[in-house]
A = this chain, B = another copy of it.
Amino acid sequence: MTDAAEKVRLSLEEVRALAEAVLSRHGLSERHVKAVAETMVAGERDECASHGIYRLLVCAHTIKAGKVALDAEPVVHDIAPALVRVDAKGGYAQLPFQMGKPVLEEKARNCGIAALGINNCVHFAALWPEVEALARDGFVAFAFTPSHAWVAPAGGTRPVFGTNPLAFGWPRPGPHPYVFDFATSAVARGEIELHRRAGKPIPLGWGIDAEGNPTTDAAAALEGAMLTFGGHKGSALATMIELIAGPLIGDMTSAESIAYDDNAKASPFGGELIIAIDPARFLGDKAAEHLARAEAVFENIVSQGARLPSQRRYEARERTRVHGVEVPAKLLADIKALLD
What is A's interface to B at a CB cutoff of 8 Å?
A: 79-83, 85, 110-115, 117, 140, 152-158, 160, 168, 170, 178, 180, 182, 229-236, 239-240, 242-244, 246-250, 253, 255-256, 275, 277, 279, 281-284, 286, 290-291, 293-294, 296-297, 300-301, 304-307, 309
A-B contact pairs, 20 of them (CB 8 A): A79-B281, A83-B112, A113-B113, A140-B248, A152-B306, A154-B306, A155-B306, A156-B305, A157-B304, A160-B300, A168-B240, A230-B230, A236-B309, A242-B297, A243-B294, A246-B297, A247-B293, A248-B283, A248-B290, A253-B293
**Shortest distance from the beta carbon of A177 to any chain B beta carbon, whole Å:** 11
Q: Which listed residue (B170, B180, B232, B300) contacts A309, Cβ 8 A?
A: B232
Interfacial chain B residues near A158, Cβ < 8 Å: 300, 304
Instruction: Give CA–CA (A157, B231) in the complex, Å.
Output: 24
Q: Which listed residue (B154, B240, B250, B279) contacts A282, Cβ 8 A?
A: B250
Instruction: Give CA–CA (A239, B242) in the complex, Å.
Output: 23
Minimal Cβ-Cβ distance residue in B for A279? B248
B83 touches A239 (CB 8 A): no
Q: Which listed residue (B83, B244, B297, B305) contacts A243, Cβ 8 A?
A: B297
